[in-house]
Amino acid sequence: MNAPPAPRPGRHRVRLGEAELLQDADRPSGWLLSVGGVAQSYVDLDEPAHLEFDYMRRIGDVLDCLRPGPLAVLHVGGGAGSLARYAAATRPGSRQLLVDADDLLVELVSAQLGLRAVPGLAVEVGDGRAALAAAAAGEWDVVVLDAFHQATIPAGMVTLGSVSDVDKALAAGGVCLANVTDGPGLAFVRRVVGTLGAVFEHVVVVGEPAVLRGRRFANVVVAASRDELPVAEVAGLAAGAVFPARVVPGAELMGDPITDDEPVASPLPPEMFT
């Protein structure tokens, strides 16, 4: 079988603007994907278990602490498929589906970064909410909500309606993992936690201490399940990270749920205003 062509750095038009592929000077097999000037994904083609972004490593921590063996994972969004590649490498035999609304981006990362060649991964172009609604009851062990419109989570992506669809789609013991961005005060994180907490009994937030204290803008990971989460195990991995993170009970950050009648988008990063 012929080897796929090597990726090429450069700029490309996608539905949400301009995407750029940059090769990592320190890791020749590492590639950074940005869209609209916002870093979206990092993949190492030779080491798919390498997760460069801290928040992605925290999601990886949760996956590592779930039951052993293959998993069925639905990715709503996912850029270049960093987490899908990780699950395929660390959980051989996993069945995964990545749904992204940007057809041009999907074709770019498929052609340049081999997205469709990830073992066990199916890739579809479509609306994330529609994919959640269409999922069969109990079809997935993990649902990852990582859909962004450049720098923000689209309004309507994390509402009681969409989270109820996640709940339906999850198998017994299943986990919802949401990548959430927020800044001082964590107003949006609190709304997301409140939304997940209205559907799932167990909710925790994982992030760097300064972010959880509302001192700077960054990503946090919210995990939710009907069943108890492996909090102690995840906390141990997070505390031992290069940039240590904490696990906080959702009850400490519980806000009002977001509804489809009043959807809320995540705030823009501060640098987007400069």
| Three-state helix/strand/coil letters over 178-211 | EEEEECCCCHHHHHHHHHHHHHCCEEEEEECHHH
- Reference 74, options 149, 6, 124, 24; nearest CA is 124
DSSP at 156: T
Q: Counting Cβ atoms within 10 Å, is residue 272 exposed (0-12), middle (13-18) or buried (19+)?
A: middle
Per-residue pLDDT tens digits for 51-95: 999 999 999 999 999 999 999 999 999 899 999 999 999 999 999
Domain ranges of the chain: 52-263
CATH code assigned to 52-263:
3.40.50.150
Q: What is the pLDDT of residues 118-145, one digit of tens each?
A: 999 999 999 999 999 999 999 999 999 9
Q: Look up the pTM and report it.
A: 0.95
Q: What is the token pair recorded at 57?
A: 């490593």
23, 28, 64: which is closest to 234 by C-alpha? Answer: 64
